[in-house]
């Protein structure tokens, strides 16, 4: 049933929130498909089958990217995180050790401590 995907009563959710759920669920399904195609590519010994599966996997990656782009356009906070964390060099999730970086300060404000490194 479609309403099984909500954690709150659907009558309390506005259209925009329901669209968020639709897109987030779609992105999850696209990545699940990517994982399945990837595993099948790894398992097959037939180069033609591998090429076909790769084509299909890459299309699912495009679908996932389109969903992420929709979310980015709706959520300024997500846009900010993507801009700060994607297409960077060096260790992923690295922050300054002196605790002065923005993310550490943000977490301190919530009293949840320093993010794991
Ligand atoms: Fe897809």
**Does any domain span residue 26?**
yes
How many whole angstroms separate alpha carbon 69 and alpha carbon 79? Answer: 9
**Does any domain span residue 71?**
yes
Number of domains observed in the structure of the chain:
1
Which structural domain range is residue 83 located in?
13-87
Q: What is the pTM of this model?
A: 0.79
Q: Ligand 1 centre and the CA of 56: distance in Å? A: 9
Q: Ligand 1 centre and the CA of 96: distance in Å? A: 38
Q: Ligand 1 centre and the CA of 35: distance in Å? A: 12
**For residues 87-113, average pLDDT:** 66
**For residues 97-112, average pLDDT:** 57
Q: Minimal CA–CA distance to 41: which of 30, 28, 56, 31? A: 56
**Does any domain span residue 18?**
yes
Q: Ligand 1 centre and the CA of 40: distance in Å? A: 16
**For residues 97-114, average pLDDT:** 56
**Does any domain span residue 112?**
no
Q: Ligand 1 centre and the CA of 2: distance in Å? A: 19
**Does any domain span residue 96?**
no
pLDDT of residue 111: 55
**Does any domain span residue 3?**
no
**Does any domain span residue 33?**
yes
Q: Ligand 1 centre and the CA of 59: distance in Å? A: 7
CA 47 centroid distance within chain: 30
* Token representation of residue 87: 């297409």
pLDDT of residue 93: 87
**For residues 26-50, average pLDDT:** 98
**Does any domain span residue 101?**
no
């Amino acid at each position: 049933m479609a309403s099984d995907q909500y954690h709150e009563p659907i009558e309390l959710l506005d259209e925009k929130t329901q669209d968020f759920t639709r897109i987030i669920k779609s992105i999850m399904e696209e990545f699940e498909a990517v994982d399945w195609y990837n595993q099948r590519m790894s398992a097959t010994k037939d180069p033609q089958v591998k090429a076909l599966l790769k084509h299909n996997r890459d299309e699912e990656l495009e679908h996932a990217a389109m969903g992420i782009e929709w979310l980015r356009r709706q959520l300024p906070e997500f846009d900010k995180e993507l801009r700060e964390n994607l297409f960077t060099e060096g260790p992923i999730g690295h922050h300054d050790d002196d605790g002065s970086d923005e993310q550490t300060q943000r977490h301190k404000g919530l009293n949840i401590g320093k993010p794991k490194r």
